Amino acid sequence: MESKFQLSDVVGAVFQNGNLKFFTKDHLACPIGNRVKVMDLKNDASHILDCESNFNVVHMAFSRDGSMVALVNEVGIVSLVSLVLNSVIYQRKIGQHVRCAAFSPNSKYLAFGMDGYVAIYSVDVDCLTPEPLRLLSRRQFANMSAQTTFTQLEWSFDSRLLTVSSNSHIQRVYAPLRALPRFNMLSLPERAEIIGAWFRTSSTYDILLVTKRGIISNYSASLDPVEVMKPLEEDEQFKEARMFFKYDSKPAIYDKFESNGRPNVTSAAFDKKNELLAIGFENSEIVIANLSMGLHVTKHLNLNLGIPIEAIDITDNLLAFGTGRGYNGALYVWDQRSEIFAVKQQSHTKAIRTAVYSPLGHVLATGGDDGLVKIWNSESAMCVVTLKGHTAPVTSLCFTQNGNAILSASLDGQVLAHDMKKYRNFRTMVTPRETQLEHLCADKEGLNCIASSQNSFEIYVWAIETGNLLEVLTGHTGPITALSLNGLKLASASMDKTVRVWDVTRMENEAIQFSKECVDVKFSPDGFFLAVLLLDSSVHVLSAESNSEIAIIETKLDMDIGWKKGNLAKNSIEKNVNYNRIEFSPTSKFLLIGGQSNNFSLYDFAQHTLIRRFKLTANQSIDGTNPRFDPFAYYGQQIDASDEENEIGPINTPGEARKDLSLRKFERPSIELTEFAFNPTGRSFAVVSTEGVMVFSLDKRRRFRPIRLVEGATIKKAEELLENEEYHEALLMSLALDEKDLVEKVLVTIPIDEIQKEIQTLDDQLAIELLRYLGANINRIAKIRIHQYLLICRHLVFTFAQTFKADTTLTDSITSLQFFLKTHKDLLQIIQSNKGLIDFELTQRQLNQLNREMEELKPPGA
């Protein structure tokens, strides 16, 4: 099993702040915290860009060709990211409050709106320049101050003019790069705050403008782009003529559809190609208008959420918009052709507490303080269904061994069992007296469910089939901090400095005493060891059979302690920070350890040595992530300098530890890790933290890693071999280049009758690489030509069975293929059942037709 895990996705975070952007036809980007999430809507997948900002990202600007993106965080630091290399090219602090940014159409310039002025920077990444972002000019406009909020910047098609939208009720249009002979800066006054303005076409300077009151204005330019560039002395007819805009009054958008009142406009987007205007309102209504037909409303969506549309973007056939902020954020994608929601995602409305993978690893379940259980597809990171029923925070989750049911424990004192096929609650298990349940586990047979009480120090055992309480286990004298089940043995850790190992059948227990409080306990998956984590962050390894101590793993010195509010001395931090969660890998080879720190560690369990330390986040918008104490930053956080309109919100209970990240006037949340969850395939694991559920995977798309590369091996050469039907050489070259898209193209092109021959010509090393590729990508690529991929898997396994059997590192890939085959086997049974029903219907139809013909052939009166 490999250990090179990388952050691949963040589950449970869909939209928080900032803007949304389609940078290709099917790829949507949205910022989540200090990272950017990219959703592939065509392949139903998502991933996280490798770039990470030191503060929350508040705005994104993509180049026209989609090869670069400029990320702006809340302190004014701009990160220029190459989407081709998936890496940060350059970082620079350009201002304190950068409100918006825009690439010029030729991708040579970047405009930023900040602190009452507009700054233009040149972008030069083609050569090794020491300063890829270089300041060219600054422009401050009249009646604008540092408190001016810029809402949008928009370049003309030829990168000569720039429109500046702001809350100053005046739209500015000027030439930022060089003076134009027949153009001076123009101001277009409006009666309300300007939400957005765009150049309507790719050949004129006509401007479309939308205000907060829903007024849509069209300004027609008096000169075309060619005439603007004519020198004044060359044409006497237009010697004194300069370009101006003619105002074309338009009715308010409210006159074109039935609306509940006249809500303010909060966001807008314009698709120049199709002349479609999308407008979002503060009452969660959305209107799509076709401007080529005047001002014709083609679609009116009313979500009935009562919260504003914070961000919106529109492309050829898709409309994306985000609602709410922080924990209340939700993301929607509307397909205009089929008129259905292609994506409809909402995270937990409060902090996520726990997460667990299904036995097959294709589903990830999360539970939060909002009392909800959400089921996520582990491949696409999309929420499949939301399970309700709890009236208090969900504290623990577990699946039954066959994965047909999920159990959830809550502070409301109930354990709910939901069916994973129909997603209904089929069993409710309650305690004999009112209490709060915190930890949960179930036996492998799926017969019994075990949960611990938070305040009565008792352990309850129920029968899942009947819901009856079988036994109450007592003995602990302090809060129970963890449960772990191994066959008929149950281990429970407590703050009374003991771990009790129970025999579930005879209800007997053995108490193991420790010198410190016990915060977590886990049986290894192979059943040979018991790991106990103490309050001093030391892990004691015991024999599961004799309960005798074997080794101690000291982890305190491996912690990365960051400064938190209220801690002015490093010693005071070290005393209060410790690891409190452990988790075994499915093979029992690795042990994950984490807790109240910005990092967690991966240990080799057999050698008791540290293999790697992972960092949760570099986001200094969260407390406890900065390893150095900055007194200026510390005391500066005490000042409430925010002037946002949405600053006034619900005030949380004094002393509440969990706060909404969107409410900026309250103190920052503190970084904390609350749960680990290893995927049974061993290819990934999930970490529940303040940032959400972060998924670390071995299958993240790697950069160029060739295998036995020879001179002349290129993607273009492999494609030429494929066109010449030289399938063997093309397959070898694609595997040698390790290009996923190229391997996929070769595999689907090989004729079915030649698959066996091509597979048999591979050597052991390339066969292993092909198996790893299929194990990591089979669910993504096998959307079409399923029969072809099934044949490839069959011949590959039959030909190299002994080779695969001898290589223990291929267990995860084989498990992934087994899940794929099981899924399609179940689907085949449904198809065969439907086929029989369809055959019966067709036969019945033929019989009815035959009976009608026989009736017609009968003589009259017969």
| Model pLDDT, residue 335 | 92
Amino acid at 373: V
d(CA 410, CA 414): 6
Environment class of 738 (CB within 10 Å of its CB; exposed 0-12, middle 13-18, buried 19+): middle
d(CA 271, CA 366): 37
| Model pLDDT, residue 683 | 81
Backbone region of residue 308 per phi and psi (left: phi > 0; alpha: psi in -120 to 50; beta: other values): beta
Q: Which long-range contacts (CB under 8 A, 24 or more apart) does 655-658 make?
A: 658/350, 658/351, 658/369
| Model pLDDT, residue 642 | 47
User: Could you tell me how many residues make up the chain?
Assistant: 862
pLDDT band, very low/low/confident/very high, at 663 (cuts 50, 70, 90): very low
- Decide if pLDDT at 235 tops 60: no
pLDDT band, very low/low/confident/very high, at 184 (cuts 50, 70, 90): confident
- Decide if pLDDT at 704 tops 50: no
Report CA 250 to chain centroid distance, whole Å: 40
| Residue 626 DSSP one-character state | -
Of 3 and 76, more confident: 76
In this structure, the number of other CB atoms found within 10 A of the CB of residue 131 comes to 11
d(CA 197, CA 210): 6
Helices (H), 515-597: 570-576
pLDDT band, very low/low/confident/very high, at 647 (cuts 50, 70, 90): very low
Same fold, 352-625+666-697 and 715-810: no
| Model pLDDT, residue 494 | 95
d(CA 135, CA 122): 6
For residue 483, list its beta bridge partners.
492
Model confidence pLDDT, tens digit, residues 386-406: 999 999 999 999 999 888 899
- Decide if pLDDT at 651 tops 80: no
Domain map (residue ranges) of the chain:
352-625+666-697, 715-810
d(CA 591, CA 611): 10
Q: What is the mean pLDDT of residues 31-50?
A: 87
| Model pLDDT, residue 834 | 86
- What is the b/e burial string over 402-432, where b = at least 16 CB atoms within 10 angstroms of the residue's CB? ebebbbbbbbbbbbbbbebeeeeeebebbbe
- Decide if pLDDT at 607 tops 80: yes
Backbone region of residue 459 per phi and psi (left: phi > 0; alpha: psi in -120 to 50; beta: other values): beta
Computed over every residue of the chain, the mean pLDDT equals 84
| Model pLDDT, residue 851 | 87
Model confidence pLDDT, tens digit, residues 293-307: 778 888 888 888 878
Q: Are 49 and 63 in contact (CB under 8 A)?
A: no
| Model pLDDT, residue 502 | 92
Maximum average pLDDT range among 635-644, 711-720, 788-797 = 788-797
Q: Are 285 and 295 in contact (CB under 8 A)?
A: no
Q: Which range among 432-436, 534-538, 695-699, 806-810 shows the weakest confidence by mean pLDDT?
A: 806-810
- Decide if pLDDT at 632 tops 90: no
| Model pLDDT, residue 644 | 46
Q: How many helices (H) and strands (E) does the chain have?
A: 11, 56
pLDDT band, very low/low/confident/very high, at 411 (cuts 50, 70, 90): very high
In this structure, the number of other CB atoms found within 10 A of the CB of residue 764 comes to 13
- Decide if pLDDT at 752 tops 80: yes
| Model pLDDT, residue 439 | 95
Q: Are 357 and 677 in contact (CB under 8 A)?
A: yes
Q: Above pLDDT 90, what percent of the chain?
A: 36
Model confidence pLDDT, tens digit, residues 129-151: 778 889 999 998 877 776 778 88
Which positions ≥6 away from 516 have C-beta within 8 Å? 497, 534, 535, 536, 538
| Model pLDDT, residue 386 | 94
Q: What is the mean pLDDT of residues 713-722?
A: 83
| Model pLDDT, residue 804 | 82
Environment class of 299 (CB within 10 Å of its CB; exposed 0-12, middle 13-18, buried 19+): middle
| Model pLDDT, residue 693 | 93
| Model pLDDT, residue 65 | 85
Architecture category of domain 352-625+666-697 in CATH: 7 Propeller (2.130)
* Nearest CA-CA partner of 532 in 521, 524, 543: 521
| Model pLDDT, residue 36 | 92
Q: Tell me phi and psi for residue 508, to 5 degrees.
A: -105, 155
| Residue 313 DSSP one-character state | E
d(CA 825, CA 420): 18
Q: Tell me the two tokens of residue 829.
A: 């049974």
Q: Which fold has domain 715-810?
A: 1.25.40
Strand ordering across the sheet containing 285-290 = 265-271, 276-281, 285-290, 296-302
Maximum average pLDDT range among 203-217, 555-569, 719-733 = 203-217
Q: Are 675 and 354 in contact (CB under 8 A)?
A: yes
| Model pLDDT, residue 563 | 65
Residue 742 belongs to what H/E stretch?
helix 740-749
Model confidence pLDDT, tens digit, residues 364-393: 999 999 999 999 988 888 899 999 999 999
In this structure, the number of other CB atoms found within 10 A of the CB of residue 843 comes to 10
Which positions ≥6 away from 807 have C-beta within 8 Å? 768
pLDDT band, very low/low/confident/very high, at 492 (cuts 50, 70, 90): very high
Q: Are 159 and 109 in contact (CB under 8 A)?
A: yes
| Model pLDDT, residue 478 | 93
Model confidence pLDDT, tens digit, residues 810-860: 777 787 787 777 777 777 788 888 888 888 888 988 898 888 888 887 777
d(CA 631, CA 568): 9
Q: Is the pTM above the cut of 0.85?
A: no
User: In angstroms, what is the C-alpha Rg of the chain?
Assistant: 31
* Nearest CA-CA partner of 332 in 703, 659, 757, 28: 28
- Mapped onto helix, strand or coil, the DSSP state of residue 808 is helix
